[in-house]
Structure 1
Amino acid sequence: MTATMKAAVYHGTRDIRIEQVALPEPRADEVLVAVRRSGICGTDATEWAAGPVMAPLHRRHPASGHLGPMIPGHEFVGEVVDGRGELPTGTSVAAGAGVWCGRCDRCALGRTNICRDYYTLGLNAPGGLAEYVVAPARTLRPIPAGLSFDAAAMAQPLAVGLHAARRAGVRDGESVVLIGAGAIGTFVLAGLSRLNHADVTVIDLPGAKLERAAKLGANRTLSAREDVVERVLENTRGRGADVVIEASGASGQFETALRMVTTGGRVLAVGLPKEKPTVDLFALTLREITVGSNVAHVCDEDLGPALEILSEGTLGPLLLHSVITLDDLVAQGLEPVASGQVDGKILVAPGCRTAEPRGS
């Protein structure tokens, strides 16, 4: 009899079903992980509400090889069930989820997040919204002693925030504006606080998000209901900010970032806008503004430090919204995230049991 597990399976727009599926079998470079927590992010909610965008439901993914209904979930942690090498059975691990080849020109430069054959567990191949998942050992890192699964489940998105902070190229003493204090903006702020000694201004709607930003080290916060460009210019004596990071994805905010950055400054796009921005290339060119972008993270560089930051105990409790069951994934997870009702991370506890022996 084939061993099975409980999993959320994505079949198409607003169609996720909780099913019994075959227990995955690890290949030579993979380990089997019993999932303890799997986070829901905006990408998951968008894929459910309006996809498929990244899930290879109708066309085989060129790197992962997956085609058809798929288990989502790319922010997962758990315990190694079928261990090997440096990850013996029983090791608690956090997943980076992104898989790179290690052979192409991008990997040779250390830019494994834009590997020519990159794919992400939970977006392009079966992921962690299930009782078990298989993952390449190189994408996993041991969870430090004393760090809870609830907190460790934020390591993957925090690694993305750390990567964005690195990509921004902030130097000590520079003025930085961060637009957006939601989950990803908060992770970027945590990265900035760890990597640099900069003067950081955070912009969002008044309320809990800005209060959280102040607790996490923002030098000042601004309400998005104000004339934020004018306020930034006032705070920088008319120069504009050295670096502006757009992490909200909200309509018009990339254009706002370009208006408040200093001549010769840098703008980093992190948030994914639903509408295409209108960019004044004439002004951008004459002011020699450098525009950059950010995707995913570099596992070897960012995932371990993310776990270290979470081990300090401040960030996790500030961002945790709730922990739900797999059966409540849609009603208490995807629906509220997709409709913008949630500030913080919703985690799913799949309710693992001990894996049945294969062939039983």
Structure 2
Amino acid sequence: MRAVRTVDGGFQVVEVDDPTGDGVVVEVASAGICGSDLHMAGFGLSNTFGHEVAGRLVDGTEVAIRPTLACGTCDRCAAGAEQQCRAMALYGLAMDGGMADRILVDPACLVPLADGVPVGDACLVEPIAVSVHAVNVAGVQPGQRVLVVGGGTIGLTAVAAALHVGAEVDLSARHAHQVAAGERLGAGTAASGEYDVVIEAAGTESALVAAIDHARPGGTVSIPAVYWDGIAIPNVMSMFLKEVSLRPSSMYGCSGRHGPDVREVDEAAALLAAVPELSEAVITHRFALDDAPEAFRVAADRSAGAIKVVLEP
């Protein structure tokens, strides 16, 4: 079968054996390109890429895939915080991912989809879950003012997640197409004044500075962004004086917002069903799997107007 792997530091489609072993085989219908995929191109990884994945089971059932696989027995898993499991593994990193014709996954990683959700859009369930977790760890409540900094996939899905809770949401984004996407989802398009919660979804030092500046005294900055190169916090004194709480937000688990056993990936799947315009706003490009090298080029090109680029085997 076909699979996307790195060859000489670039992304290529190669032929690999079909997956075998314990688990469930999913015929891949859609796989999103994440910013982390772009960053890991030079890491020398040998596995198949792709952790934002949806597809069909042998019986035709359409599912999304939760790419995180925790031990299920440790103290963190027992607390519903599987994202903090010390033995966490990830499809698309430690194990072969879904940028391929097929993927083999643990049955616990299957995420049911509501009727009417196109499986070609359901690869968004994973990044939506990241944003749902960011909203949940910040404790966003109806009527609160929320600012999202960064207009990529995580920023825009965070806009949708916060709006769905009932917050008033503004988006601070760098590019015009991102601003337009946020507007389409219902966000205000200019940061003004102070906010109860700021979600930092850009992953830059300047974005974190802006997030702290806009947080009200006693406010919260939720950080689903990844700082690949490390950062300083020039306005740390402002953070100190205002007693702003920084809340790192890594992946997803069980939030407790809808009960201690409700997975945030299931919250994400429900949000995708409830807000059909989300996929229309976020997915900007689709490519056949054989065109993966071009898809990655577009995803990395800021001038291409890309937000989420999706591969379709």
Asked whether the two chains share a fold, i.e. TM above 0.5, the reply is yes
Check if 1:77 corresponds to 2:72: no
Q: Which residue of 2 aligns with 1:346?
A: 309
Change (3 A) 1:76 1:260: same
Q: Structure 2 regions of 5+ residues with no counterpart? A: 255-261
Matches of 1:294 and 1:339, distance apart in 2: 27
Task: State the Cα distance separating 1:206 from its structure 2 match.
Answer: 5.6
Q: Which residue of 2 aligns with 1:26?
A: 21
Task: State the Cα distance separating 1:141 from its structure 2 match.
Answer: 1.6
Q: Which residue of 2 aligns with 1:204?
A: 173
The counterpart of 1:214, out of the listed 183, 189, 196, is 183
Q: Which residue of 1 aligns with 2:133?
A: 163
Q: Which runs of 4+ in 1 moved over 4 A?
A: none
Matches of 2:104 and 2:286, distance apart in 1: 22
Q: Is the 8 A contact 2:12 2:292 kept in 1?
A: no
Please, which moves more after superposition, 174-183 or 103-112? Answer: 174-183
Check if 1:308 corresponds to 2:270: yes
Task: State the Cα distance separating 1:31 from its structure 2 match.
Answer: 0.4
Note the 1:1-360 alignment, pairs <5 A: 5-11=1-7, 13-14=9-10, 16-27=11-22, 30-48=23-41, 51-52=42-43, 57=45, 69-81=46-58, 89-195=59-165, 197-205=166-174, 207-218=176-187, 220-222=188-190, 232-233=192-193, 240-279=194-233, 280-298=235-253, 300-312=262-274, 313-331=276-294, 333-340=295-302, 341-350=304-313
Q: Is the 8 A contact 1:201 1:221 kept in 2?
A: yes
Q: Which residue of 2 aligns with 1:65?
A: none
Q: Which has the larger radius of gyration?
A: 1
Q: Is the 8 A contact 2:195 2:214 kept in 1?
A: yes
Structure 1 vs Structure 2 CA RMSD? 1.9
TM-score, normalized by length of structure 2? 0.90
For these two proteins, the number of residue pairs brought into alignment is: 303
Matches of 2:229 and 2:207, distance apart in 1: 11
Task: State the Cα distance separating 1:146 from its structure 2 match.
Answer: 2.3
TM-score, normalized by length of structure 1? 0.79
Matches of 1:289 and 1:154, distance apart in 2: 31
The amino acid across from 1:24 in the alignment is: P
Change (3 A) 1:324 1:111: same
Q: Is the 8 A contact 2:30 2:121 kept in 1?
A: no
Q: Determine helix, strand or coil for the equivalent of 2:57.
A: strand
